[in-house]
Amino acid sequence: MARRHTIYNIWLFVIFLTFLTAACSTDGTKIAEDVIPMSDIDHLRVAGMTALNRADFDSAIICGHRLLEIADKSSGRAAQNADIYGNIILGQGFLFNDSVGHSYRHLHEAELLCLKHGNDSALASVYNGLGLYASNIEKDFPGALRHFFNGLDAAKRSANQRLHSLLLVNIASIYALNDDPAGLRYALECYRHGKRNKDNFLCYTGAMTAAYSYALRKTDTSKALDYIREAEIILHSDSIRDGSSLYYIYGLLLRQQERDSEAAECFRQSIDLLKANHNEGDIRSFIEYSDILFKRNRHTEAVAVLDSALMITDSGHSGIFRQDVLKALAVTHRLLGNDVLSRKYFSIAENENNVEDKAGKELIIEHIKSKYDLERADNEVNRQRVELLEKERIVNFLIAAVAVALILSVSFIYLYRRKSRLYSTIVRQMTETAREETRLRATIRQLEDSMSSASGDKPAKDSQPDAPSLKKSPIPDHLVAAFESLMLDPAVYTDNLISKDKIAQMLKTNRTYVSRIVNEVYGMTFPQFINSLRAKEAIRRLSDAECDTPLKALSSELGYNSMTTFYTKFSEATGMTPAAFREKSRSIAAGQTPGGDNDKS
């Protein structure tokens, strides 16, 4: 009789797939053959893996066969991938179907192909399947651990963190099957990886296994309940089909808190889910539920529950816990005084218990556990080495940054001092120019006054020729002299309403002559000419140590409509701001070097 063993019994929710990608059959229905393109190897691989994950073994087997058909008709890398994943899917599909005999053959073939072609990611999945085969079919827990640890090595080589975490949780489940809570840390690693990567499947398997490990320790029951409740939320939101195992663990934790009524409800849910899932689930829920019924003096119901559990194991399901069911029946009948039946079930259990010496197995498990602990320690050393290198890199970066900052600071100080010397030169030259211009103005004024006295009341010549001849005629010298004399008066060019018309009116001439004088004599536009005069006046006044007029007021007195315009035009003329010019001028006058440019008024 073909025996169907399942790892769904508890937290051992199989790691069927290396890649949990959304594929076909997301509504839970079987994958129809006619919707899968023969040429699409990736689609078939993902569809087969997804079918395994959803416990849809018949559909998975269809995908596996189709992949092998493609491998036979193809060549190169496509044929390699189709051959490898076809055998992996068939190996795991047959493991949980009615053809266990074919499972190992396909898994072994996949292992050889992965080793031949160096496909470590697929090899990790193969070792996972072989570990499940060893634990479920052969009940060889040390052998299962060896396969899982080989899978860890392959997952690490392929940098497949997700499969690495799933293998860890399977390792934790092997410890749990031996009533060893030491697997808790592996389960928590899987759970944390799921949290970091927002992977509900990893969170679910990690949380369930962690909760069961806490149940074995009989400590931190409240913490274990938090994990199992989180797993329950994921169960209902992600349509995971391992609900029977979850409610078995939930019931165990509630029993530890002496909440038997709630626990009984959990065990009933576990049993219902197992029956709804074609007897795939945790058979030990029958044992716990029977025990609660027996303590309530519902002996007949308690025995009936155990009998139904035994029938399920007789049909090939949940064989891994058949010994537990037989022993529970033997104990129950002994308590009821049915010694004949009690001895019968004890005898069956003893005859079927051909498992190798438990002490020897524990030594092997301890050896494998030590190996992994050494590997973890080595990984920790490597991690610390990497952290040290990273810290050294950061220190080197900081040293380089400090060196660059120092160079920039020295350069800034050098440029600042050079700029300060340049500013001093500019201020000295412009201050001297302003003073010389002031002296020239005074001299010109005196000459004009002398000439005016000598000429007496001689009538002035009309300086406004007829308009039609302006463009061609030369500019009269007396008009240029009158213009220059007028523009010596600061009151003229500091008038914020000054214009060519206004100056023409003062000179009793035409505005065209004013434009020609500015353009031809001075080589400027009228606004440029006015701004140059204002800048010179600003230099003169800012150079005066006794002038304390605020810059805003000075801007207005010079005829500027805004401080912004004043700053812009002054900077264009001198290369310095008015505030910097005033400070530098005063520091030169005082015979000291300033601390820095100050743009405050």
Residue 229: what residue type?
A: R
Mean pLDDT of 334-350: 87
Structure tokens at 525: 């536009």
More confident residue, 210 or 377: 210
CA distance readout (Å), 568 to 148, 229, 524, 575: 77, 71, 18, 10
- Cα gap 125→104, rounded to integer Å: 14
How large a percentage of the chain has pLDDT more than 70?
Answer: 75
Least confident of 27-31, 54-58, 486-490, 596-600: 27-31
User: Does pLDDT of 263 surpass 80?
Assistant: yes
Structural domains of the chain, ranges and CATH numbers in brackets: 256-355 (1.25.40.10)
CA distance readout (Å), 339 to 151, 299, 333, 336: 47, 15, 7, 8
Q: What is the pLDDT of residue 239?
A: 62
- Cα gap 590→595, rounded to integer Å: 13
More confident residue, 268 or 411: 268
Q: Mark out the alpha helices in 296-357 (DSSP H runs).
A: 299-314, 322-335, 339-352
Q: What is the pLDDT of residue 135?
A: 78
Q: What is the pLDDT of residue 473?
A: 67
Q: What is the pLDDT of residue 519?
A: 92
User: Does pLDDT of 568 surpass 60?
Assistant: yes
Smallest CA-to-CA distance from 53 within 18, 84, 83, 85 is with 18
**DSSP label of 466:** -
Please write the tens of the pLDDT for every residue from 520-552.
988 999 999 999 899 888 888 888 878 888 999
3-state DSSP percent of the chain in helix, strand and coil, to 5: 75, 0, 25
Q: What is the pLDDT of residue 592?
A: 52
C-beta of residue 513 within 8 angstroms of C-beta of residue 480: no
User: Does pLDDT of 413 surpass 50?
Assistant: yes
Give kind and range of the element (H or E) at residue 36: none
Q: What is the pLDDT of residue 601?
A: 44
- Phi then psi for residue 296, to 5 deg, are -95, 10
Q: What is the pLDDT of residue 58?
A: 83
Please write the tens of the pLDDT for every residue from 497-521.
999 999 999 989 989 989 999 999 8
Mean pLDDT of 360-388: 56
Q: What is the pLDDT of residue 124?
A: 86
User: Does pLDDT of 6 surpass 60?
Assistant: no
Q: What is the pLDDT of residue 501?
A: 92
Structure tokens at 76: 């190169």
Smallest CA-to-CA distance from 313 within 344, 357, 349, 267 is with 349
CA dihedral angle for residue 541, residue 545, residue 549, residue 555, rounded to 10 degrees: 30
Structure tokens at 60: 């998975």
Mean pLDDT of 189-205: 85
C-beta of residue 271 within 8 angstroms of C-beta of residue 286: yes
For 8, the 3-state DSSP assignment is coil
Mean pLDDT of 266-294: 84
Least confident of 187-191, 201-205, 417-421, 482-486: 417-421
Q: What is the pLDDT of residue 447?
A: 65
Q: What is the pLDDT of residue 265?
A: 92
More confident residue, 252 or 179: 252
How large a percentage of the chain has pLDDT more than 90?
Answer: 7
Mean pLDDT of 450-457: 56
C-beta of residue 317 within 8 angstroms of C-beta of residue 6: yes
Least confident of 208-217, 283-292, 307-316, 369-378: 369-378
Q: Is residue 48 exposed (0-12), middle (13-18) or buried (19+ Cβ within 10 Å)?
A: buried
Q: What is the pLDDT of residue 57?
A: 82
Least confident of 119-133, 161-175, 492-506: 161-175
pTM of structure: 0.50
Smallest CA-to-CA distance from 160 within 206, 213, 121 is with 121
Residue 243: what residue type?
A: G
- Cα gap 158→169, rounded to integer Å: 19
Residue 207: what residue type?
A: A
